[in-house]
Amino acid sequence: MWCPAEPRPVPHGGLLLLLLLNFVPSFGRETLLTTSVIPQSDQSIACEDFIHLNILEKRVLNDSEVSVQYLCSKPCTVTLEAVASSEFRTGVLVYKKRWKNEKHLHISRTQTVHLKFPNIMVYRDDYFIRRSILVNTVILYAWISHKPVGSYDAKRDESYLQAVAKNYTLLETVPPCERPYKDHKVCFKWSSEHMWRLQANRIPQCPHETDAVEILGFPYASSGEKTGIVKKFKRFHNRELETIRQHQIDYPKFTISVWLYLLHHCEKNLCGIIYFIDPGEMYSTPAVFLNEEGYVHIQMRLVKGEDLAVKTSFSLPLKQWFRLDLSFNGGQIEITSVGKNLKRHQHQSFNFREDFYYDDVAGYFVLGGSGYAPGIEGFFGPVKYYRLNILETKQISNPLYDKEIMEQIELYYERCADIQEIVSGYGHLVKQGQAVQKDCIRENYYSELNYKYGAKTKCDAFIWGKELREKYHSLFNLLREMDFSPSDVSEDQNNTVLEVGRRIFEKVAKSLSRADGLHYMSSSILFLMDSSCCGYHKASFFLAVIFETGLAVSIDPLQGLLYSLVGAQRSERLAVMNLGYKHYQGINNYPLDLELSYAYYNNIALKTSLDQHATKGDQAFVEPIRLRDDELLKSQTKENGDVFMWLKYEATRGNAAAQQRLAQMLFWGQQGVAKNPEAAIEWYSKGALETEDPILIYDYAILLFKGHGVKKNTRLALELMKKAASKGLHQAVNGLGWYYHNFKRDYIKAAKYWLKAEEMGNPDASYNLGALYLDGIYPGVPGRNRTLAAEYFYKAAQGGHIEGTIRCSLYYITGNMENFARDPEKAVIWAKHIAEKNGYLGHVIRIALNAYLELSWHEALLYYVLAAEAGIEVSQTNLAHICEERPELARRYLATNCVWRYYNFSISQINAPSFAYLKMGDFYYYGYQNHSKDFQLSVQMYSEAALEGDSQGFFNLALLMEEGNSIPPYILDHLEINRTLHSSNISILQELYQRCWSHSNQELINPCSLALLYFYLRVFWNNLLHSTLIYFMGTFLVSILVAFAVQYFQSLSANDSQAPRPEQSPDVHSTENTSDTRSTEQEESTPTNNLAQHPHLIS
């Protein structure tokens, strides 16, 4: 009996519920109401189909029992599904069961189902279930679908929406901490179970993530050059934040707040403040610059791909701290300038005709300069970036983190303004007086001679007030002693000030280099400060090191930081490297910041190549000479030294090798010889023209090509280059390619020669080929190929090429190049490697070494401290060596523990020497002064020495085990000792002694070979004592000895019983004689004992 479709009575309010159920809400209320759905296209469906859900415990539990009561009027399929939703995902199917009913029609049936949910939904975390999830809702759906009959029905799906009858209910979720543990019915190790129980009751917490990012949290000295801080941002881990970020790509909402201290406005077109570089190495949103007039230039990338720029109507102030806040909202920009008191100075708004395009993970930020634009001249303070929010100035949380250093920077430049004004004015007055005197000396010959050779003019009529003269009395006294004649001092007032600063510094440096120079350190501080203010920033670096190390003064970290920043801002090489090193290691209260460290090291790396080709300046070749190496120390010489004179003699006789070595020493300033390019060129010329040595020919050809110290002669240079190339010199083959590239613009021939040189292993050729691909001028290859260029640059860097290494370090810091994953630490290491080749650094190291060789201890200590604080590992170990040799000198003039500090610094360096690890290992094992013992660290230090191939490291580890100590398993793994040996101390000792011997050149007699022999003897003896054979042999020998003893006593007994009894008197007489004899012998054999017992008997 089929019933027609007709309205059914619905309870009051049920119509709305019915409609809601038909639309299947994501999160519905619990209901047991059965809904009968009859599509208009099918009026033949029976009206009695229904389905009910009965659950005893409506919680998300495993094995929950659900009773499903249903009725099918036609062959049907019953489906039961559980759908879960969490914080990050919705509508996840976690359970499904289906069954068919084709026979029992028009009959109400009941099916019992046991629900099974994923373990992470119903159980607590344990050893196997590591991350249970928090589920917000679980909805259990049940529905009936009729089996399709015709072609039309076959197309209908069996989903919940198309069901004949359906029902759902909401299950209550259980928080993770209230869930039971699962019985896995698996036994695991006691140690694993114990470790798990230790942390089983910890409440899991999600890592906090916010859109507010601190780009910079420490002062950065921006020198106005093409180097700066590179920052790259990743996607949010929080899915909601990441979803918001992606939605805002074409309608960005973000805020940037940056503190600035400007010394000058931009000298060139535009100077970078903060800007974004996209994957195509193009400016994108935002790009904020400073122009020549001090206005802010802002460039934005629009959604359609256009770039538009605006300029503020106000300029930024000089020599005062201020904060620049920029908010970006769709196509609108709000820019505000506030002072230290956070009061608004300037404000301006800009509205663009289109929204901005901004994806902050597709590229990288630059703070300051880069290869595309110079940075500002001044200092960056804290920089805050809100990635997803627009904030007003009062809502931004970006205070000055350390007001003391900010105030010190302001005070420094205020004081320096006074100093520069005094020096400039004084020099001008003296020159005016000299000009008047010069006009009046033509009266007689005596006056003219007096002007030339007499005392120089001094200015006693000061125009400055008494208060200023008293404040800078030491400076005025110095100025009165100086010669301001035109031949010595430039007419330019700025150069005059710089020249005065140089003279002050040289006077102080000479004073400090005396035999007792450090004794006058405290009186030299004011002069160094004046020199620094005059713009001579070698004095700034001196002051930074003096205050940071307490070199003959009290330690003052604030003043040390101030002068480090000031020197770095003016690109004083060692001051920049000092900051780069401190941020790389995170020492001396400098935060560990690899991006900031890279900015400093990259600055000096870029200068190193240029400095090497400069003929002027205090430079020397950087030579890693250790004071422990007697052979290298003996090879050092000077222009009047034996080694140099012998080379000169051999070179004069036409010895090509001597000419080559002599020319290199003079050109680069090597082996203790002062840099003298003019003299070097003479030897290059003589060797190239008189000998057939290809290296001399090539070197001289390069000098002729570039005109370094000699007149350019391209024709002769080409002839010499071809001659050297014909002799198979790969540098000359590369040189021919360089000639055709630079002089003929013949890229086909250039590429041909470079490919040949590259096959011969020339790194310069690899770099040049990369440059062709980067510039898009490689023959036969259309367009630029940055990826292939980077591969050639990397190959060049592997060969030690300076520019190739710098480019690769840039790829590692930006992560913007294929095959170069972002690695800030590797970028710092590569840039540091090039920076430490700088000639100005080599000059300081050379002064220190010469002072050591001349036994000038004060000067050696001073200059080795300077080089060590710049992060030079060889100088650090050399300084520690001096402090060990002269402990009283170190204790008197250094406020830090010299030996511990610099050995400790050295072991943190790449490729630290093994002896430094051994030193620190001894310090940790025995304790050193106020440093306590640490066995674990001592073992670690010895193992590092062992890994460096030092036999002493293996020997020390073996001795530790001999003393009853155990070496941690992770150390043994670090030494790559087979784990099968870990359980036996004997096996570990054998391995350590064998490695000790193998790393000691396998000499026949050395400590390692003797220790190994002794070890084998002990093992053999112990094995012998514990063997079965030795017990058998011992028992046998004892048995024989016992048998002989028994037989011997038996024979004695038999003899006594058979012998006649002797006379009484002879026996007594003989006994008395024996007794007398024995007493006499005893007295004669122990005279020393008698004298000791009776000292009063000795006359």
316-355: pLDDT as tens digits = 999 999 999 999 999 999 999 999 888 889 999 999 989 9
- Predicted confidence (pLDDT) at residue 1074 exceeds the cutoff of 60: no
Task: Quickly state the pLDDT bin for 1033 (edges 50, 70, 90).
Answer: low
- Predicted confidence (pLDDT) at residue 162 exceeds the cutoff of 90: no
Averaged over 611-618, what is the pLDDT? 79
Bridge partner residues of 634 (DSSP) = none
pLDDT at 1084: 36
Q: Is the backbone of residue 462 left (phi > 0), alpha (psi -120 to 50) or beta?
A: beta
Alpha helices, DSSP H, located in 89-203? 119-122, 151-155, 190-198
Averaged over 200-222, what is the pLDDT? 81
Cα–Cα distance for residue pair 908/951, rounded to 1 Å: 21
Cα–Cα distance for residue pair 722/223, rounded to 1 Å: 43
Cα–Cα distance for residue pair 531/541, rounded to 1 Å: 11
Task: Quickly state the pLDDT bin for 803 (edges 50, 70, 90).
Answer: very high
Least confident of 193-207, 501-515, 858-872, 1031-1045: 193-207
CA angle 828–832–837, rounded 5-degree value: 165
Type and span of the H or E element at 1016: helix 1007-1025
More confident residue, 485 or 999: 999
Q: Are 704 and 720 in contact (CB under 8 A)?
A: yes
Averaged over 767-795, what is the pLDDT? 94
pLDDT at 1027: 63
Of 611-615, 673-677, 738-742, which one has max mean pLDDT?
738-742
- Predicted confidence (pLDDT) at residue 902 exceeds the cutoff of 60: yes
pLDDT of 956-1012, one tens digit each? Answer: 999 999 988 888 889 998 998 888 888 788 889 888 988 998 888 756 678 888 888
Task: Quickly state the pLDDT bin for 17 (edges 50, 70, 90).
Answer: very low
pLDDT at 208: 75
Cα–Cα distance for residue pair 387/246, rounded to 1 Å: 11
Cα–Cα distance for residue pair 98/86, rounded to 1 Å: 25
Amino acid at 572: E
pLDDT at 1053: 60
Query: Residues, the chain, total?
Result: 1099
- For residues 279-310, one letter each, b for 16 or more C-beta atoms within 10 angstroms of the residue's C-beta and e for the rest, the string is eeeebbbbbbbbbeebbbbbbbbbbeeeeeeb
CA angle 865–867–868, rounded 5-degree value: 60
pLDDT at 684: 86
Question: φ, ψ for residue 324 (rounded to 5)?
Answer: -110, 115
Structure tokens of 1051? 């024979």
- Predicted confidence (pLDDT) at residue 206 exceeds the cutoff of 60: no
Cα–Cα distance for residue pair 316/631, rounded to 1 Å: 59
Cα–Cα distance for residue pair 365/367, rounded to 1 Å: 7
Task: Quickly state the pLDDT bin for 1094 (edges 50, 70, 90).
Answer: very low
**What's the whole-number average pLDDT of the chain?**
84
Single out the residue of 286, 291, 275, 307 nearest to residue 371, CA to CA: 275
Averaged over 624-642, what is the pLDDT? 88
709: Cβ–Cβ under 8 A, 6 or more apart, which residues? 615, 677, 678, 680, 681, 703
Q: Tokens 């409506």 correspond to what residue?
A: 58
Q: Are 495 and 522 in contact (CB under 8 A)?
A: no
pLDDT at 452: 58
Least confident of 47-56, 880-889, 945-954: 47-56
pLDDT at 66: 93
For the residues of 831-887, what is the DSSP string, one character each?
A: HHHHHTT-HHHHHHHHHHHHHHHTT-HHHHHHHHHHHHHTT-HHHHHHHHHHHHH-H
Single out the residue of 241, 253, 345 nearest to residue 296, CA to CA: 345
pLDDT of 816-853, one tens digit each? Answer: 998 899 999 999 999 999 999 999 999 999 999 999 99
Question: Could you tell me the sign of the dihedral formed by the alpha carbons of 1044, 1046, 1047, 1049, in that order?
Answer: positive
Task: Quickly state the pLDDT bin for 1056 (edges 50, 70, 90).
Answer: low
pLDDT at 39: 40
Cα–Cα distance for residue pair 544/574, rounded to 1 Å: 10
pLDDT at 462: 57
Alpha helices, DSSP H, located in 342-472? 403-439, 445-453, 466-471
Q: Are 619 and 840 in contact (CB under 8 A)?
A: yes
831: Cβ–Cβ under 8 A, 6 or more apart, which residues? 598, 601, 602, 605, 805, 806, 809
pLDDT of 77-89, one tens digit each? Answer: 999 999 999 877 8
pLDDT of 432-448, one tens digit each? Answer: 765 555 545 455 555 55
- Predicted confidence (pLDDT) at residue 810 exceeds the cutoff of 80: yes
Cα–Cα distance for residue pair 696/693, rounded to 1 Å: 6
Using omega within 30 degrees of 0 as the cis cutoff, is the peptide bond preceding 286 cis?
yes
CB count, 10 Å around CB of 930?
A: 7
- Predicted confidence (pLDDT) at residue 34 exceeds the cutoff of 50: no
Task: Quickly state the pLDDT bin for 5 (edges 50, 70, 90).
Answer: very low
For the residues of 878-896, what is the DSSP string, one character each?
A: HHHHHHHH-HHHHHHHBSS
Task: Quickly state the pLDDT bin for 1014 (edges 50, 70, 90).
Answer: confident
Cα–Cα distance for residue pair 298/310, rounded to 1 Å: 5
- Predicted confidence (pLDDT) at residue 384 exceeds the cutoff of 90: yes
Q: Are 361 and 235 in contact (CB under 8 A)?
A: yes
754: Cβ–Cβ under 8 A, 6 or more apart, which residues? 734, 737, 765, 768, 769, 772
